[in-house]
Structure 1
Amino acid sequence: MSSAADTATIDAGVPARGSLRALLPALAGHRAMTVRTCAAALLEQGSLVTLLTLAAHTVGTAVLEGHAPSAATVTALVTLVLLRALMTWREMDLSHDLAYRVLAVLRVRVFDGLARSAPARVAGRRSGDLAATAMADVEALEFFYAHTTAQLLAAGTVFTGGTAVLATVEPWLLAAVLPVAVLLAAAPFADARGRAARGSRTRTAVARLSADTVDTVDGLRELLACGALAERRRRLAERGRQVGDAQRAEAVWEAVAAAVRDLLIVVAVLGVVAAAAQSVNAGRLHGAWAPAAMALALAVLGPVAESARSLSQAVSLRAAAARVGAAVKAPALAPPPAAPRSLPSGPLGVRLHRVRFDYGGGPVLDGVELTVPAGQTLALVGASGAGKSTCAHLLARFWDPSEGAVQLVPADGEPVDVREVSDAELRRAVALVGQESPLFHGTLAENLRLAAPEADDDLLTETARLCGVDRIAPMDTPVGERGSTLSGGQRARIALARALLARPRVLVLDESTAHLDNASDARLAAALKQEDRTTVVIAHRRATIRRADRIAVLEAGRIAEEGTWEELTGRPDSALNRSLAHIPS
């Protein structure tokens, strides 16, 4: 279920072929601009070939026949120069505009893919690695969209037209042009596997450097406190060297490939000169047309050589394309319902009915049967790893059970499977406050309104007072990235207030009160009792467990027992007593 395996597959060895082609459909939303870009590229390349051919013919005529170029010829040359300049600018403008529009869409799709498959795909993934995919890998694809597609189509069209003209003027010139063109076109594919592997090595090294850099910045205080900053700097320097080594390897091979392309062009020049001289001597080619034919033969090779260079560089982006494609196509682990059901108004209870679940290994939940009536508070107790947090995540529908059903139960009416409820409605009905609820850069009020941006100031003030947030700081106080300016207890209060501000009908607290002192925990519990909602509390504090209406003990993926505090603690051999033995007072 984790995406770590997916990433390892992408980063290890050579990325799958077709990774770049799989991203071509992103152009479908920009058909008009794609057509304009291709047209500009065709005019840019075609005008250059025409300009060189006409200029060569003009010079040849002037030298051999002593004729000065006519006014029409000079006008045509000037027009072609201006057209070439205009189309070069226009093609660059359109191609980059198109590329950045596509990249903007891809970034959103990458984020949507990560959000759609969270938290499983991001479990085990480092923030810097995810950032490298969402930003650096997407940005690297700019070259593919801006310098490959339109240029390849234009080069193919110009080469086909040019060789057709050559075949009419002097077919023997094709004998010097076609073999070189074939070698130029085949060169990127001959070394495609090596280029893809080197590109993968570079993308992997960049992702690791990004991940380590983000980790270092996030943990700077801890590294300073532990005296580990020097070792961390050494690790970052090593990561930087790995990136440099990977980039140098790519640059060296590209230099070799460029030299090979230049050598092939030189061979083509010699071949064209020899073929043209033989044709002139045999009387098949007029002397004035010889320079023009030679210019045409070499001019049509230019776009082919440039396309070969672009293809070579694009192949090295296969790893970036594979990482982006995997994120974009990430499957939804909790797919939206085909025909969503509406939740009835009023209080909602919850029910886990014969729920089985695993993370790809042994079962974590094995036939859990648990019901919490509407308006009651249930304490879910068990040893670490017993599956308590998994129950919370299933209630919030981060995952779906492999068997059984997670249901919301109205006071009157049929239970509703959470898989049949739209995500937006489920988020309004069920709120989960986890063990770690990060805050975002912004003010205290902005963080509170995250789940309920439409909440008015009176509701915000009342909720802040209820959770004791009003004693932390004024509402317009910046909290720092990830709440770095606040203590753990303060962050817990804000996370609770944020969830309550959305007025959920089911509240799931996954050890979220662990940072609160006993007095604050008691005041919050009393305040929550005043609300008409169902609460599931995962707690490791005796007082919190005791205050619950009912207690369920989870052992080995099953509910071992269920009842009130008095009922369960009154049994000498109860599972609750075994759990309490490891819980502080």
Structure 2
Amino acid sequence: MTAEPRAAAPPAAAPPAAGRGRGTLRRLLPAVLPHRRTAAHTAAACLVDQAALVLLVTWLAHTVGRAVTERTAPGAGTLACLAGLVLLRSAATWRQMDLSHDLAYRILAELRVRVYDGTARSAPARIAGRRSGDLAATAMSDIEALEFFYAHAVAQLLASAAVFAAGSAVLAWLEPWLLAAVLPAAGALVLHTLLGTRARTARGDRTRAAAAALSADTVDTVDGIRELLAYGALPGRRARLADRGAALAAAQRDEARHDGVFAAAQDVLVALALVGVVGCAAHLGDGSLGGAWTPAVPALALAVLAPVASCADALRQAGTLRASAARVLAAAGAPCSAPPAADPVPLPAGPLGLRLRDVHFDYGGRPVLRGVDLTVPPGRTLALVGASGAGKTSLAHLVARFWDPSRGTVELLPADGGDAVDVRRVADGELRRAVALVGQDNALLHGTLRDNLLLAAPEADEALLDRVVRRCGVDRTAAALPEGLDSPVGERGATLSGGQRARIALARALLTGPRVLVLDEATAHVDAAGDAELAEALAGTDEGRTTVVVAHRPATIRRAGHIAVLEGGRVVEQGTWDELRGSGGALDRVLGAVVPGARTGG
């Protein structure tokens, strides 16, 4: 019998279909509310910036027109005002950039925390099968893409609308017919942008998906570089990365090509509007508009349309932003696989046993556990046995409450015979202190050996740490490292063997002093001698602890006081080693599948 395959995990939640919801970007706005004061100051600075530019351009054109038509040099007051507008716009631009980026990066930092919380809340159900590179792309590049939305789009849209309204009012006051050239151009700019939204969204989807695929393959390649070198598979992997890069480049080129067409059409619309305004001003130059206003009116029209063009450009980028926003919001809002207890109850003191009553569980409609009934009295050790896919890991995850059963209950039993406590009614923090799970894949975090050992029990003193380290054989691992427990272990513990990582994971769990310990193939990477050594370490630190061992080695199974055999999602056989081995029952079938012909002994 081997470890359950990864296929037994829930179906991976597919990366969100970015950009499909029209309200996706609107759902980003509530993140601004805690920073509404800064957002208001940003919008005000942007308004001053744009208004100062319009006033500067118009006044300057009017001054030049007056100098040409009336042969009157600008006075000192006019020059001082123009210089003041230049300084005002410079200060407003600096202030707007400073505030907008401060606002954006604060919100992005909060979004990263929300994505992390969503990933942790929904793990492992929704991240099973999701590649770490894809998750990293959401946490990093997708969030970074939203910087434009928070730093520029919102404030720019508000300020541009105000400037356009005010500028149009001035044009109407000068000559209502001028609006006949300005308003259609502004409407065409916005309409042209909105009509292409769906196509831009689809292109943004393709670009973000290609970027996520490249990120995922890159992370996989870095993680497996030794295996790729060992088997001569690096050239093939390099070709795969090149294909991923080419796909991303093609998606980016497609976006850039359409963006170029959009920008050209935008420039044409602005130019046509300017021609219309110039023509109107020329025909009205006989007195309806003063000679100085003849050059000032086109300058005003151009200054008024420029913010509209910038807004259209911001809306154009909404396709890519919507794709990123959908991925970020899906990750941040992922449903909890094990909702927190609404009214948590405290666990009683002392040893705890375990009881499963009529437990059913399925992955997307595919039944895995079908009515499991199982009791482990406090202080006892149960070996959970079964062929691959029998549901052992699923049951272990239910005990640790990584997710909840679709029917039935998982309960903790007090040693004093008091009422059983459903794990769904226990606060998560208290449950994690009471129940510890050590799996087969024992990834370590980047940091020192000591950091990884104290991950769940940072308050553990040196005496306890030394005792547990010695019992689990981690002291030998530390002795072989240059700085002992303070030696870096590399990303995911890459500098250590699988057996060393297993010992560290077991020691880490024991440091928390769990009252229920679940070992899901935890010693699969340890040889038989090491397995026996770790079993001795567990026996020396049990102190009334209840242990559930998902095992495949006959020696490990034999050491358990009680054995339960899973077949087809049900417990089909229970008893001691002497009662079950050699009886021709389920345990013999499972062990016979691993050790053909072995019917007795172990």
Q: TM-score, normalised by structure 2?
A: 0.94
1:574 matched to 2:585? The reply is yes
* Paired position in structure 1 for 2:566: 554
Give the number of the structure with larger relative contact order, counting CA–CA contacts within 8 Å between residues 6 or more apart.
2
The aligned counterpart of 2:599 is: none
Q: Does residue 73 of structure 2 align to residue 68 of structure 1?
A: yes
Partner of 2:496: 486
Deviation at 1:470, TM superposition (A): 0.7
Moved more, 272-281 or 327-336: 272-281
Instruction: State the distance in 1 between where 2:590 and 2:361 align.
Output: 23
SS of 2:447's partner is coil
Which secondary structure does the structure 1 equivalent of 2:593 belong to? coil
Contact 2:517/2:547 (<8 A) preserved: yes
- Whether the 8 Å contact between 1:158 and 1:300 is mirrored in structure 2 is yes
- Matches for 1:343-492 after TM superposition, within 5 Å: 343-412=347-416, 413-473=418-478, 474-492=484-502
Structure 2 contact 11–363 (Cα < 8 Å) conserved: no
**Residues 581 and 587, structure 2, Cα contact 8 Å, conserved in 1:** yes
Question: Which residue of the partner structure matches residue 249 of structure 1?
Answer: 254
Which piece of structure 1 moves more, 65-74 or 541-550?
65-74
Provide the rounded CA distance (Å) in 2 between the counterparts of 1:92 and 1:524: 59
| SS of 2:156 mapped into structure 1 | helix
Which residue type is aligned with residue 301 of structure 2? A
Matched ranges for 1:81-230 at <5 A: 81-230=86-235
Write the distance in 1 (CA, Å) between the matches of 2:102 and 2:258.
30
* Partner of residue 274, structure 2: 269
Q: Is the 8 A contact 1:143 1:314 kept in 2?
A: no
SS in 1 for 2:408: strand
In structure 1, the partner of 2:507 is 497
1:544 aligned residue (551, 556, 566): 556
Give the one of 23, 27, 33 matched to 2:32.
Answer: 27
The answer on 1:525 being equivalent to 2:535 is yes
RMSD: 1.4
SS in 2 for 1:582: helix
Aligned partner letter, 1:508: V
- The 2-side partners of 1:581 and 1:518 are apart by 19
In the aligned structure 2, how far is the partner of 1:3 from the partner of 1:184?
A: 45
Could you tell me how far apart the structure 2 residues matched to 1:422 and 1:53 are? 66
Q: CA deviation at 1:423?
A: 1.1
Residue of structure 2 in register with 1:307 after alignment: 311
| Aligned residue number for residue 330 of structure 2 | 326
CA distance in 2, matches of 1:478, 1:415: 43
- For structure 1, which segment, 503-512 or 49-58, has the greater mean C-alpha deviation from structure 2 after superposition? 49-58
CA contact (8 A) 1:542 1:583 kept: no
Indicate if the aligned counterparts of 1:148 and 1:314 stay in contact, CA closer than 8 A.
Answer: no
Identity %: 64
Q: Deviations over 1:84-105 (max 9, x none)?
A: 1111111111111111111111
Aligned with 2:17: secondary structure?
A: helix
Q: Distance in 2 between matches of 1:62 and 1:516?
A: 91
Contact 1:339 1:420 in 2 (8 A): yes
Deviations 1:128-147 (A, max 9, x none): 11111111111111111112
Of the candidates 489, 503, 518, which is equivalent to residue 508 of structure 1? 518
Shift of 1:431: 0.4
Check if 1:232 corresponds to 2:237. Answer: yes
In 1, the alpha carbon distance for the partners of 2:300 and 2:462 equals: 74
Shift of 1:507: 0.2
Q: Which runs of 5+ in 1 are unaligned?
A: none
Equivalents in 2 of 1:331, 1:2: separation in Å? 14
What is the count of residue pairs matched by the alignment? 580
Which stretch of the first structure deviates more once superposed, 467-476 or 37-46?
Answer: 467-476
How many angstroms does 1:536 deviate by? 0.2
Gaps of 5+ in 2: 1-8, 479-483, 596-601
- SS at 1:37 equivalent: helix
CA contact (8 A) 1:430 1:507 kept: yes
1:372-407 C-alpha deviation (Å, 9 max, x unpaired): 010000001111111010010001111100001111
What is the CA distance between 1:5 and its match in structure 2? 4.4
Q: Which one-letter code corresponds to 1:166 in the other structure?
A: L
Task: Give the drift of 1:2.
Answer: 5.2
In 2, distance between residues paired with 1:515 and 1:199? 44
Deviations 1:265-294 (A, max 9, x none): 11011100111112223x322222232222
Distance of 2:255 and 2:44 partners within structure 1: 32
Further displaced range: 165-174 or 50-59: 50-59
The one-character-per-residue Cα deviations of 1:180-207 (angstroms, maximum 9, x if unpaired) are 0001112221111111111111111111
Give the C-alpha shift of residue 518 in structure 1: 2.4
Q: Distance in 2 between matches of 1:280 and 1:31?
A: 47
Q: Which amino acid aligns with 1:581?
A: G
Maintained 8 Å contact 2:379/2:545: yes
What is the CA–CA distance in structure 1 between the aligned matches of 2:514 and 2:585, rounded to whole Å?
Answer: 33
* Secondary structure of 2:345's aligned partner: coil
**Cα distance in 2, alignment partners of residues 514 and 241 from structure 1:** 40
Q: Give the alignment partner of residue 534 of structure 1, picking from 541, 546, 551.
A: 546
Shift of 1:463: 0.4
Cα displacement string for residues 294-341 of structure 1 (whole angstroms, at most 9, x for unaligned residues): 222221101001111121123222111111111011011111111111
Match of 2:343 in 1: 339
Question: Helix, strand or coil for the counterpart of 2:38?
Answer: helix
Q: What letter is aligned with 1:546? A: R
Runs of 4+ residues deviating >3 angstroms: 1-6
Contact (CA 8 Å) 2:211, 2:248: kept in 1 or not?
yes
Per the TM alignment, residue 362 of structure 1 is displaced from its structure 2 partner at its CA by 2.4
Q: Distance in 2 between matches of 1:376 and 1:555?
A: 22
The separation in 2 between residues aligned to 1:399 and 1:83, in whole angstroms, is: 59
In the TM superposition, what whole-angstrom CA distance separates every residue of 1:527-546 from its partner, at most 9, and x where no partner exists?
A: 32232200000000111111
SS of the residue aligned with 1:222?
helix
The SS at the match of 1:263 is helix
- Mapped contact 2:519–2:549 kept (Cα < 8 A): yes
Q: SS of the residue aligned with 2:285?
A: helix
The one-letter code sitting in structure 2 at the alignment partner of 1:105 is E
* 2: CA distance, partners of 1:50 / 1:362: 68
Q: Secondary structure at the match of 1:432?
A: strand
